[in-house]
Amino acid sequence: MDFQNVYISDDIVSDLRRECSGWSADSVFILVDENTKGLCLPKIKADDFFKDVKVVEIKANDDHKSLEALASVWTFLCNNGASRKSLMINVGGGMVTDLGGFAASTFKRGMEYINVPTTLLGAVDAAVGGKTGINFNGLKNEIGVINPSKSVVIDVNFFKTLDRENFLSGYAEMIKHGLISNDAVWRNILAFDLHDIDYQKLPHLLKESINVKEMIVEKDPYEMNVRKSLNLGHTVGHAFESYAMQSKAVLHGYAVAWGLIAELYLSYKKCGFPSSVLQQAVGLIKSNYGVLNISCKQYELLYELMTHDKKNEGDGRILFTLLKDVGEVEINVNVEKKDIFEALDFYRDSVGL
C-alpha cells in the first residue's frame, strides 16, 4: 500500500496547488460539507488555480455519513464527467474525509484524492492512515475500504474556527496516541493547556501525534496486528457512540474519551497498567469531557453493541486493545462480560454517575 505525504502547512493554497500540479488529473473536484463550504472553501477558491473546480456539497455531521450521501457524491461525479484520472480534494472533518475517501476509492474503481482536514479530529485520526467508509445499519464505519489519500495537507488556522467541544473531540485521539506512544509524548499531552489553547505550540504536539499513527500504520497498513494499537478506547467508545445515536448523537472524541476510562481500567485489571497513570487519564478526561449518562440498565445493550466491533473474530469473544504501561500495548485481549460490566461501573463511578 502507498503511504501518504502529510504536511502541516504554513500556506495551504500554495501547498495544495503544488500537490495538484504534481499529477496529471483531467479534472479536479472539491468535496465540502455545509460548514466547510462557508468557512474554508473561499480561501481555496480565491486562488486562480482552483477557481473553476467543481464543488460537491454534502450535509454536515456524522448522521449524514450515510449510503444516501455517498450515492449523492457518486451521482455528482458521474454527471460532471469525472474519470479515473480525476482528483478529489476532501475539505472537512473526519466525516468528509471518510466519506470522500470512500467515494473516490470506489468511483470508476478508484480515483486519486487529497485530504484537507479542517478539524483536529480529522487531522490526527480520520484523514491519516487510509481508512475510509460510512456508517450503516446503525453502526459506526461499518462499510468502507482501506485506501490512503496521496496527500494530507493540514492548516492549523482552520482549527481556530472550532468550538471547544470539537477541539476536545480531536484532542481525545491525541490522548490515546500519547498513551500508546511513550512517556515524553504522554507528558506533553498532559501539560497542554486545554482552557487557553496555544496555536503556536499546537503544530509540534500535532506532529508528534500524527507521527505515532503514521509509524504504526506503516508497520501494519491493513490492521493485522500492531495497527490494532490505535483501537485503544474504541471498543467501549464505539458502543457509547452507537448507543447515543439512538437518542442524541455525541461527538466521536467524547465517546473515545469515555471509552478510555473503561478500557484503561480493564488494562489495570487485566494487564497491570499503573494506577497512577490511570488516575492521570481519568482526571484529564473528567475535567474536560463531561459525561454520557448511562445506568446498569444499558449494560446489556452496550455489550451487544461491542459484539459488532470489527476487532472481533467471529467466535463470540470481545477482543480489546489494552495497555501494560504507557507505550506497552497488548492486542486481542479477550475480556469476559463480567469484567466489561465492572469497567462500565468504574466509568460511572469516575464521572460521578
Q: Which stretches within 66-136 are classed as H helix?
A: 67-79, 94-106, 120-121
Of 161, 193, 218, the position where a domain reaches its end is: 161
Please give the Cα distance from 113 to 175 (Å, whole number). Answer: 28
Q: What is the pLDDT of residues 310-349, one digit of tens each?
A: 777 767 789 999 999 999 999 999 999 999 999 999 999 9
Same domain, 24 and 58: yes
22 vs 129 pLDDT, higher one: 129
Residue 272's SS3 state is coil
What mean pLDDT is reported for the chain?
93
- C-alpha–C-alpha distance, residues 16 and 30, integer Å: 12
Last residue of a domain, one of 144, 161, 178: 161
Same domain, 79 and 150: yes
Average pLDDT estimate for 243-258: 92
Say whether both 155 and 226 belong to one domain: no
| Shared-domain flag, residues 149 and 214 | no
What CATH number corresponds to the domain at position 25?
A: 3.40.50.1970
Question: Does the pLDDT of residue 1 top 60, yes or no?
Answer: no
Helices (H), the chain: 12-21, 34-39, 41-45, 67-79, 94-106, 120-121, 164-180, 183-191, 202-219, 234-245, 252-271, 275-289, 299-306, 337-351
The amino acid sitting at 163 is D
In this predicted model, what pLDDT tens digit does every residue of 179-238 receive, in sequence order?
Answer: 999 999 999 999 999 999 999 999 999 999 999 999 998 898 888 899 999 999 999 999
Backbone angles phi, psi at 19, to 5 degrees: -65, -45
For 122-134, the pLDDT digits (tens) are 999 888 888 999 9
What is the rounded distance in angstroms from the CA atom of residue 110 to the CA atom of residue 166? 31
Mean pLDDT within 13-29: 87
Angle at 203 between CA 173 and CA 16, to 5 degrees: 100
DSSP string of 276-325, one letter each residue: HHHHHHHHHHHHHH------GGGHHHHHHHHTT-TT--SSS--EEEEEEE
231-252 mean pLDDT: 92
Do residues 115 and 238 both lie within one domain?
no
Section 86-105 average pLDDT: 96
User: Which residues, in sequence order, are CB contacts of 50 under 8 Å at separation 6+?
Assistant: 13, 16, 17, 28, 30, 44
Rounded Cα gap, residues 235 and 231, in angstroms: 7
Q: Which residues contact 353 (CB under 8 A, 6 or more apart)?
A: 291, 293, 294, 295
% of the chain residues with pLDDT over 70? 99
Report the distance separating Cα 313 and Cα 307, nearest Å.
10
Q: Please list the residues that pair with 17 across neighbouring strands.
A: none
**Residues 142 and 173 both lie in one domain:** no
Q: What is the CA radius of gyration of the chain?
A: 20
CATH of residue 286's domain is 1.20.1090.10
Our count of domains for the chain comes to 2
* 148 and 182 share one domain: no
Domain boundary among 110, 126, 161: 161
The three grid cell numbers given for residue 85, joined into one nine-digit string = 484520472
Claim to verify: residue 186 and residue 39 sit in the same structural domain: no
Look at 65-69, 222-226, 302-306 and tell me which has the smallest mean pLDDT: 222-226
- Say how many CA atoms lie within 13 Å of 120 toward its Cβ: 29
Structural domain harbouring 68: 5-161
The Cα–Cα gap between 259 and 343 comes to 10
Over residues 164-184, mean pLDDT: 97
Do 249 and 346 belong to one domain? Answer: yes
Helix (H) or strand (E) holding 143: strand 139-143
Mark whether 247 and 289 lie in a shared domain.
yes
* pLDDT tens digits, one per residue of 33-62: 999 999 999 999 999 989 889 999 999 988
Q: Pick from 14, 11, 19: which is nearest to 48 by CA?
A: 14
C-alpha cell at 176: 490515546
